Structure 1
Amino acid sequence: MNELIEELKTKLIKLLDLSSLTPAQLDAQARLVGGELGIDSIDVLEMAVMVEQDYGVVINSQEVGEKVFASVASLAAYIESNRAGGAA
């Protein structure tokens, strides 16, 4: 799971153009949406597309998305539990 968290940190920094941050500076427990990073609804859509393309996991409702994108750790946990073929 820690490997997935680190991978997600790197992908999110690139995807969301958070170039002022390093993966080590991005707290896995910190709030993603509505937090200090300034992530908006367009960013959430981009993250959902990335998760589906890279991990084969669909986030198909706003309610699920709000829980999944609460933090990097919650996103990693959701991917782990919903990946095709189970945990990697």
Structure 2
Amino acid sequence: MADAALKDQLKAIISKATGGAVSVAAIGDDVALMDLGVDSMAALEVVMELEMQFGVSITDMEAGKEAFTSINSLANFVEANRS
């Protein structure tokens, strides 16, 4: 299980990627990110931030879909693939 600090960091990245349209407070750990309005452009920005901040790459479409299910799944993906 990912720690709260990582989840908070990911929430901030997602909020920034949506231009603030999705507030950090609105992002629950199990809420589907796409239901919050995280579109493909925001998702791409999140992927770039994950690479810069954590050294994590999402190169496979299927892995990306699974990782972007929720904050919990994204945090677990980051922890499992951190360099």
Moved over 4 A (4+): none
TM-score normalised by L of structure 2: 0.86
Q: Map Cα deviations across residues 39-62 of structure 1 (whole Å, 9 max, x no partner).
A: 221122111111111110000011
**Identity, % of aligned pairs?**
32
Give unpaired runs (5+ residues) of structure 2. none
TM-score normalised by L of structure 1: 0.81
Number of residue equivalences: 81
Normalized per residue, which structure has more helix? Answer: 2
Hey, what's the Cα distance between the residues in 1 that align with 2:22 and 2:43? 19
Which structure has more RCO (C-alpha within 8 Å, separation ≥ 6)? 2
RMSD: 1.4
Max radius of gyration: which structure? 1
Q: Map Cα deviations across residues 47-84 of structure 1 (whole Å, 9 max, x no partner).
A: 11111111100000111100001111111111011111
Select which of 6, 9, 12 maps to 2:8: 6
Give unpaired runs (5+ residues) of structure 1. none
